[in-house]
Homo-oligomer: A and B are copies of this chain.
């Protein structure tokens, strides 16, 4: 049944364990990360997971940073060069359409566990700043291009991050339809960034 012991290079093993931990976190949240659960998924022993990690706190913080970092890179690749209002809207909608439930669970756990783990708290602060900077850049580019009219893109970006985080966290426990929620958000987002199509009064 069990495959014979395999001896990998430290780099390979490190990567394999990191992959297992990332997959596990996306399925069960950061709260589901233990030496033994990661080891079982990677097909190794808990002791080996402990061997390659400075501590579980650092392991969890690294997993969080990697998951969020991958998402940021993906969004940068897809929307980084665009300056259209439609592209920004598509981005915001994609952040709210419910397809990010796994990542939202990771964020929620990070906020909770981060209070008792300094490495994780640091990673959360960094990730929040990166998110804000990314959105601020996207908004600012559109202000420069005359698409948006926003007095302070940095502030708008903070609001948007908070809005997205809060609504996504709600969607974890509420029954509300995610698609509907996203649609209803558009007018508010348009007003937030000064999109000319925002409902005027």
A interface, CB within 8 angstroms of B: 29, 31, 105, 108-109, 111-116, 121, 124-125, 128-129, 149, 152, 155, 158-159, 161-167, 169-170, 172-176, 181, 184-185, 188, 191-192, 194, 198, 200-201
A158 CB to closest chain B CB (Å) equals 7
A105 touches B109 (CB 8 A): no
> Copies of this chain, how many?
2
A159 & B165 in contact (Cβ 8 Å cutoff): no
Give Cα A77–Cα B151 distance, bound, in whole angstroms. 37
With A112-B113, A173-B124, A191-B191: A184-B155 Cβ-Cβ less than 8 Å: yes
- A-B interface, 4 closest residue pairs, ranked by CB to CB distance from nearest: A166-B166, A162-B166, A162-B167, A112-B112
> With A and B bound together, what is the CA distance between A8 and B108 in angstroms?
40
The smallest C-beta distance from A92 to any residue of chain B, in angstroms, reads 13
Contact B172 A165 (CB under 8 A): no
Report yes or no: B155 in contact with A159, Cβ–Cβ below 8 A. Answer: no
The smallest beta-carbon distance between A165 and chain B, in angstroms, is 4
Cross-chain contact B184 with A149 (CB below 8 angstroms): no
Besides A29-B115, A111-B111, A165-B169, 5 new A-B residue pairs in contact (Cβ under 8 A), listed by A number = A114-B172, A158-B167, A164-B166, A169-B169, A191-B191
**How distant is A185 from chain B, measured CB to nearest CB, in Å?**
7
CA distance A98 to B136 in the complex (A): 24
Q: CB < 8 Å: which of B31, B159, B185 contacts A112?
A: B31
Q: In the complex, which residues of chain B have a beta carbon less than 8 angstroms from the beta carbon of A188?
A: 159, 191-192
CB distance from A105 to the nearest CB of B (A): 7
A173→B108 contact, CB < 8 A = no
